[in-house]
Amino acid sequence: MIQILQSVEITADSVAALPKVEQVAQNLAEGNVRWDQVINQLISWSLDAGKHILIAAVVYFIGHYLIKLLNYLLAGFLERRKVEVSVQTFVKSFVGILLQVLLIITVVSALGVNTTSFAALLASFGVAIGMALSGNLQNFAGGIVILFLKPYKVGDWVEAQGTAGSVQSIQIFHTVLMTADGKLIYVPNGSMSSGTITNYTLTPTRRAEWVIGIEYGADVAKARQAVLDIIKADSRILDTPEPVIWLNELNNSSVDLTIRCWTNNDDYWNVMFETREKIYNSFNELGIGFPFPQITVHQAE
């Protein structure tokens, strides 16, 4: 590493400026100073350094503008080609980072640093950083696996790594999920590509299920018919597969009915909440009681 640092060179103009600075320091040490020469030499060195700084600043601002322009053109190209949104977010993230690295190298070159030596220095740092960031390299590979195998895409509702949410973007290192309460969660692509993922959007339909308890002594056939009437009146509930209603279990305080039917994914949550409320109101109107935990106590004589 020391040899690489020592091998970093600067341009000929900067090299020519160094003896001037050393000569000034020597003259100051010996007391043999002509202040007009010192000032001229310092001005010459400052102008030379300022020229490189000015060029580097111009290169930076022009490069920053070009990067924004290229990102805009890339986004438009991917959109016109109707590339999948998941691939778009990944490619734009990768290209953006790559262009920023190239801009840094160009600015360093404009400052007068020899890019060949700088590239060797950058490579050595890259090896060290790669070893330190091996987890991120795994996440990068995981992002590629996700794009090829497509267990989910942008817009899908998934559950993975102990969290659930809508996929907002697939970046080079992370998948961004938005939860139902509006929080953004960044999940590493490595764990997303190798862990268990539940995708609730991949299929067009989804089964809704309710477990409704009625009190002992209630008319089960009457309760079943009431539920069937509610289901048949709702056009969002599919006829195929056919809805089913079973007496599932005799619990300690209730007779449990299990109700299952199928609906489109977009209608799932509305059907779940609204049907439960309709069942509650219908059972109250029909006099079908709902149980509650109770204990019968017998007093000994």
pTM for the model stands at: 0.55
Task: Tell me the β-bridge partners of 169.
Answer: 176
Cα distance between residue 159 and residue 208, in whole Å: 18
CATH number, domain of 258, equals: 3.30.70.100
Q: Please, what's the b/e burial string for 118-140 (b: 16 or more CB within 10 A of its CB; e: otherwise)?
A: bebbbeeeeeeeeeeeeebebbb
Torsion of CA 23, 24, 30, 34, to 10 degrees: 120
Per-residue pLDDT of the chain in tens (301 residues, 90 and over written 9) = 333 334 434 444 444 444 455 555 565 555 555 566 657 666 677 767 777 788 888 888 888 888 888 888 888 888 887 777 777 787 888 888 888 888 887 887 777 766 666 666 666 666 665 555 566 778 888 888 888 888 898 889 999 888 999 999 888 888 999 998 999 999 998 888 888 899 998 889 999 999 999 998 889 999 999 999 999 999 999 998 999 999 988 888 889 999 999 999 989 999 999 999 999 999 999 999 888 776 777 777 6
pLDDT value, residue 16: 43
pLDDT value, residue 124: 66
Residue 296 lies in a domain: no
- Looking at the structure of the chain, the number of domains it has is 3
CA distances (Å), 79 to each of 67, 76, 143, 152, in order? Answer: 18, 5, 20, 19
CA distances (Å), 251 to each of 121, 220, 221, 241, 256, in order? Answer: 73, 14, 18, 28, 7
For residue 218, give its domain range: 205-286
CATH number, domain of 179, equals: 2.30.30.60
Residue 299 lies in a domain: no
Residues 165 and 227 in one domain: no
Residues 17 and 69 in one domain: yes
